[in-house]
Structure 1
Amino acid sequence: MTATLLYPFIIVAGLLQALGNSMNAQYRSRLVNPWLTAVASFLPIVFVFATLFFLMPTPLPTLASLGGMPWYAPLGGVAGAVAVFGGLAFVDKVGAGPFNGLTITGNILTSLALDAFGLFGLQASGFKPLPWLGGLLMVGGIILIARTSAGDGGEKDEGLAGKLLYPFILVAGVLQAVGVAWNAQLNHALVNPWLAATVSFLPVVFVFALVFLVRPSPLPNRDDIAGVRWWMPLAGLAGAVAVFGGLLFVHEVGAGAFNGLLITANLLTSIALDHFGLLGMKQVKIGRERLGGAGLMAAGIVLISVF
């Protein structure tokens, strides 16, 4: 199978990731406590992947493949979850626009560096100016879209305290890209993708559950629970498709193309959700800046994927 044949699957994963983000936002509004929401969102993922592993337990890793596994490989899920934590902790302080712009910028540029230098087991492609130009176009598109994000702090002055958080948010985006590469290494060592996905998500659930036990309040009341819709607990599963896609496809298409396609599909879907006010999102019509940002992102992903 050629790499380009995988692109539609990656685009669908990005679409589902955007749906999962919006579903999680509604889920959090009902469960009140962000740590409880994270646990409730990630637990079904572990259950589904563990069930699939028990149904399809082969192939299994050998002692040789386990012995060659880098120490960081099982931490791919945790690295990616740093961005989730950043969203929980920092979005209210800096606004959704700056937060998403910084994390995605860190993700895209790190992905291009991973491909160029062949880091974390990826095949080195060397420095190619056109993919980097594509990355810069995507960053420009992200900035245009972020400035008009629904409910962002794009027009609010978050002050010096908010701007001091920018380096940490940028690092969260870097770790998001690194986590994808680490997950690919985990899948290579564990052989079975269902086992790899289970191992990747288990530490994430443990960390969020531990934080929830330390900070168990506030808790939802009966009315909050009654407002939970059937699709809200599926938010984590929708987003997990992207992680599973990373396990399988990053070595085939490269980190830059994978994350670029994923993010482009994610943001374009988010724009559509905002435009039509779907899944409880505040309606924000597509304007010239958002259309321009979408065009820049499309041009950028073509340069990254083709060249």
Structure 2
Amino acid sequence: MTAFLLYPFIIVAGCLQALGNSMNAQLRGKVVNPWLAATVSFMPIVFVFATLFFTMPTPLPTLDSLGKMPWYAPLGGVAGAVAVFGGLAFIDKVGAGPFNGLTLTANIITSLAMDAFGLFGLQASGFKPLPWLGGLLMAVGVIFIARTGAKKEDGDETSTTGKLLYPFIIVAGMLMAIGVVWNAQLRGALANPWLAATVSFVPVVFVFAFIFLLRPTPLPTRDDLKGVRWWMPLAGITGAVAVFAGLLFVDKVGAGAFNGLLITANLLTSVALDHFGWLGMKQVRAKPARLLGAGVMVAGIVLISVF
């Protein structure tokens, strides 16, 4: 199967990731405690992937493949969850626009660098000007969309204290990209994709549940829980489709193309969710500036994917 035939599946994964983000926001509002919300969101993922593994337990890894597995491979889920933690901890301090702009731009640049230098087992493609130009266009498009959305959502300009958090947010964006590649390494070592997905998510649930036990307040009231819709706890499963796609496809299409397609589909879906006010989101009409940012992103991913 050629890489281009995989692109539609990656685009669908990016769309579902955006839906998962919006569903998580609704869950966070009803459950009140962010660590409890994250635990509730991630636990069904482990249950689903573990069930699929017990249903389809073969192939299994060999001692040889386990011996060759890099030490960092099982930490792919944790690396990706750093961005979730960043959102929980920092987004109210720096604003949604700057946070998303910084994390996604760092993700794109890191992905291109991993492809160019062949990091973490990827095949080195060397420096190619057009994909990097595409990455620059995508970064501009991301910032355009984030900043135009931030004016409505965040109101005031980011404070100096918030700007001091930018390096940590950039690292979170880099780890998002690296986590995808580490998950692909885990998939190669464990052979069974369902087992790999389970191993990737178990540490994430453990970390969030542990933090919730350390910081159990505030807790939701009975009225809060009455507002939880049946689909809210499924947010993690919706977003996990992107992680599973990474397990299967990133070594076939490259980190740059995979993350670029995923981010583009994610942001375009997010623009649509805002524009129409779906899933309980506050309606924010897509003005020409946001549509221009989306168009620039599409041009960027074309350069990354084709060249």
TM-score range, shorter chain: over 0.9
Q: Residue type of the partner of 1:168?
A: F
Shift of 1:267: 0.1
The equivalences for 1:86-165 within 5 A come to: 86-149=86-149, 152-153=153-154, 155-165=155-165
1:183-213 per-residue CA deviation (whole Å, 9 max, x = no partner) reads: 0000000000000000000000000000000
Q: Residue type of the partner of 2:15?
A: L
Q: Residue type of the partner of 1:140?
A: V
1:204-255 per-residue CA deviation (whole Å, 9 max, x = no partner) reads: 0000000000000000011111110011011000000000000000000000
Shift of 1:124: 0.6
CA distance in 2, matches of 1:160, 1:149: 20
1:136-161 per-residue CA deviation (whole Å, 9 max, x = no partner) reads: 000110111001226543x5222210
Aligned to 2:216: 216
Q: Residue type of the partner of 1:158?
A: T
The equivalences for 1:30-45 within 5 A come to: 30-45=30-45
Aligned to 1:252: 252
Aligned to 1:292: 292
Shift of 1:178: 0.3
The equivalences for 1:1-307 within 5 A come to: 1-149=1-149, 152-153=153-154, 155-307=155-307
Shift of 1:280: 0.8
Shift of 1:109: 0.1
Q: Residue type of the partner of 1:38?
A: A
Structure 2 unaligned residues grouped into runs of 5+: none
Shift of 1:66: 0.1
CA distance in 2, matches of 1:213, 1:290: 41
CA distance in 2, matches of 1:143, 1:115: 23
CA distance in 2, matches of 1:144, 1:288: 11
CA distance in 2, matches of 1:156, 1:261: 32
Please, what is the CA RMSD of the aligned residues? Answer: 0.7
CA distance in 2, matches of 1:16, 1:37: 19
Q: TM-score, normalised by structure 2?
A: 0.99
CA distance in 2, matches of 1:263, 1:152: 21
Q: TM-score, normalised by structure 1?
A: 0.99
**SS in structure 2 at match of 1:79:** helix
CA distance in 2, matches of 1:149, 1:72: 36
CA distance in 1, matches of 2:11, 2:54: 28
Q: Residue type of the partner of 1:298?
A: V
Q: Residue type of the partner of 2:148?
A: T
CA distance in 2, matches of 1:87, 1:108: 18
Q: Residue type of the partner of 1:277?
A: G
Identity over aligned residues, as a percent?
Answer: 79
Q: Residue type of the partner of 1:286?
A: A
What is the number of equivalent residue pairs in this alignment? 306
Q: Residue type of the partner of 1:262?
A: L
Shift of 1:107: 0.2
